[in-house]
Amino acid sequence: MALRTLLLGASSLALLSYGQPEALENHNSSDLLCTCNQIAAAISDASQVSFPFAPEYLSDIEHATPSSAKASACSVEPGSAEDVGEILRILGSTRTPFAVKGGGHSMNPGFSSTTGVQIAMTRFNQTKLNSMTSTVDVGAGLIWDQVYKTLEPTGVNVLGGRIPGIGVAGLTLGGGYSFLSSQYGLTLDNVAGYELVLPNGTVTNVTSDEDDLWFGLRGGLNNFGIVTRFIFKSYPQGDVWGGIHFYSENQLDAIKEAFIKYQQKNDTKAEVAVSLSYSSGQILCTILFFYDAPAPSGVFDDLLDIPAIGGNVSTGSFFDYFQSLGTQGGFDGHRVFGDTVSVIQYSPAVFNAFVDQTKLWGARLWALDENATLTLTQEPFDKGIFSHGSESAYPPDRSHAIFPSSLTFEWSNASLDDTMAFALHNISNSIRAAALADGQDVSHAALYPNYALFGTPLEDMYGGNVERLRKIRAAIDPEDVMGLAGGWKF
């Protein structure tokens, strides 16, 4: 099709590079097997190496979407921090490409998947409330569902993912926008400590006493080693109110107006996410409501006045609310890429740009793949969101709030991967241009690393922090062991 040729011919494609360096993909397979056996011989009984296609291997390489999964030579589930150290020493000395997987929800190919050695953190699965310190120890292999479930009877909660299935590790190490972020900040602002295996295999605890690693780990993902445990601050949690409503396209003007009014109310217990999806020829609007109390203040009144075509809201425990969002995170085996743009305000002009892009690209790509679904989500938070923490790798500038957005494409036909990535770039650029034209100074508004599409320049996410982060990484990882794993690299 002509459009496809046009898109693939675009020069900007050359800028897109996939997670793991090309050279690592061509690693000699007998060498890989040898490394796998070396690891199997070195680790304790707490850990296990698996080969294709054992059940453990299959679950170790599994990802939220097939587009970000790869078949590794073997997989390893470490069961102790010391064994993680052994594994890193062997991978480093043999220069073997590897990947570290928490919940496997990164949509970027090669960020937590590899054709080398797949490390799956699943055995780090403890959730332990320490009532003396009101902190919660959480293993790096858990997904938030498990953490919320364990904490439900305790009456306290931590700041984690908003949709079932997301890993604790990736979300926390990249930032973390939660239902409680307007009240308490990002997930990384609510970490009290980390147990970290350094790139040279040494196990260490990192707290705020440590200047550089503390700074780097808060937003710097897998640059500084492998985290085995997080210690989170906790907060009392009572029943919450919320749910999801669906709206037809003819309500978009009313929603825009009510959404603007909502944002002017500054109620930190409230959260909404407004999604526009294009599928099968039409736009569907979905609003996710959350309120951190059994009944909402009047903050949602204007939005709730708009007739919905479906959905429901109710009061219940935080865990029940979270679970009720279950189907929202499933991709049905489809391929998915995501990108993001940051704005200062979800103004009428920005809202219009979201609508225009949904129509334009949704229709174009649906014509190429019947399963192509574009979903653009506006995620406003309180303007004080960055005031709850100290300097960190992300966000690079805490002096004023910027809000992330989630732009995702879902599709089936693998031959459209490059086209989808190109479209997402175009969508984020177009929305940024609309925000600039609206008078919002977003030319340097940092992009959220956990949402950004592969190929995004480091400076666009970490701003003026990049140089310091590079120095920290050079000092902590002089042998570039973590460079053998994909992901954003300083």
Ligand X SMILES: Cc1cc2nc3c(=O)[nH]c(=O)nc-3n(C[C@H](O)[C@H](O)[C@H](O)COP(=O)(O)OP(=O)(O)OC[C@H]3O[C@@H](n4cnc5c(N)ncnc54)[C@H](O)[C@@H]3O)c2cc1C
Q: Which of 161, 220, 296, 362 binds ligand X (CB under 6 A)?
A: 161
140 part of the interface to ligand X, by CB under 6 A: yes
Binding partner of 170, given ligand X, ligand NAG, none, CB within 5-8 angstroms per partner class: ligand X
* Window contacting ligand X (CB under 6 A); options: 162-170, 239-247, 366-374, 384-392: 162-170
Q: Which is nearer to ligand NAG, 276 or 435 (CB)?
A: 435
* Window contacting ligand NAG (CB under 6 A); options: 48-56, 82-90, 258-266, 296-304: 258-266
Task: Indicate the SS3 state at residue 205.
Answer: strand
121 part of the interface to ligand X, by CB under 6 A: yes
CA dihedral over 241, 244, 246, 247, signed as positive or negative: positive
46 part of the interface to ligand NAG, by CB under 6 A: no
d(CA 476, CA 469): 10
Q: Which is nearer to ligand NAG, 2 or 236 (CB)?
A: 2
Q: Which of 87, 226, 240, 287 binds ligand X (CB under 6 A)?
A: 226
Q: Which is nearer to ligand X, 221 or 424 (CB)?
A: 221
For 177, 397, 447, the CA distances from 468, given in Å and listed in that order, are: 24, 14, 18
Residue identified by tokens 């972020």 is 181
| Gyration radius from the chain CA atoms | 22
Q: Which of 85, 92, 199, 487 binds ligand X (CB under 6 A)?
A: 487
205 part of the interface to ligand NAG, by CB under 6 A: yes
d(CA 436, CA 425): 16
Residue 230: beta bridge partners?
Answer: 138, 194
Q: Which residues of 150-184 are buried (b: 16+ CB within 10 A; e: fewer)?
A: bbbeeebbbbbbbbbbbbbbbbbbbbbbbbbbbbb
* Strand bridging mode 226-233 / 240-248: unpaired
Shortest Å distance, C-beta 181 to ligand X = 8
| Closest-CA residue to 16 (of 483, 418, 488) | 418
30 part of the interface to ligand NAG, by CB under 6 A: yes
Shortest Å distance, C-beta 173 to ligand X = 5
Shortest Å distance, C-beta 107 to ligand X = 6
Residue 183: beta bridge partners?
Answer: none
CA angle 214–220–226, rounded 5-degree value:
80
Shortest Å distance, C-beta 154 to ligand X = 22
Shortest Å distance, C-beta 424 to ligand NAG = 11
Residues 434/349, Cβ–Cβ less than 8 Å: yes
Q: Which of 7, 32, 49, 166 binds ligand X (CB under 6 A)?
A: 166
Q: Which is nearer to ligand NAG, 200 or 279 (CB)?
A: 200
Q: Which residues from 174-203 bind ligand NAG, rule CB under 6 A?
A: 195, 198, 200, 202-203
d(CA 4, CA 83): 48
Q: Which is nearer to ligand X, 63 or 432 (CB)?
A: 63
Task: Indicate the SS3 state at residue 265.
Answer: coil
245 part of the interface to ligand X, by CB under 6 A: no
d(CA 293, CA 239): 6
Residue identified by tokens 């490390």 is 119
Q: How far apart are the first and last CA of the chain?
A: 39
Binding partner of 160, given ligand NAG, ligand X, none, CB within 5-8 angstroms per partner class: none
d(CA 459, CA 302): 39
390 alpha-carbon distance from chain centroid: 21
345 alpha-carbon distance from chain centroid: 21
Alpha-helix runs per DSSP H in 95-228: 144-151, 168-174, 181-184, 211-217
* Window contacting ligand NAG (CB under 6 A); options: 37-45, 276-284, 398-406, 425-433: 425-433
Shortest Å distance, C-beta 105 to ligand X = 3
Token pair of 240, please? 């919450």
240 part of the interface to ligand X, by CB under 6 A: no
Binding partner of 220, given ligand NAG, ligand X, none, CB within 5-8 angstroms per partner class: none
Binding partner of 371, given ligand NAG, ligand X, none, CB within 5-8 angstroms per partner class: ligand NAG
Q: Which residues from 319-348 bind ligand X, rule CB under 6 A?
A: 329
Binding partner of 308, given ligand NAG, ligand X, none, CB within 5-8 angstroms per partner class: none
Residues 121/132, Cβ–Cβ less than 8 Å: no
Q: Which parts of this chain interact with ligand NAG (CB under 6 A)?
A: 28, 30-31, 123, 125, 195, 198, 200, 202-205, 243, 264-266, 312-314, 321, 324, 332-333, 369-371, 383, 412-413, 415, 426, 429-430, 433, 476
Q: Which parts of this chain interact with ligand X (CB under 6 A)?
A: 64, 100-107, 111-112, 121, 140, 161-163, 166-167, 169-171, 173-177, 221-222, 226-227, 329, 450, 485, 487
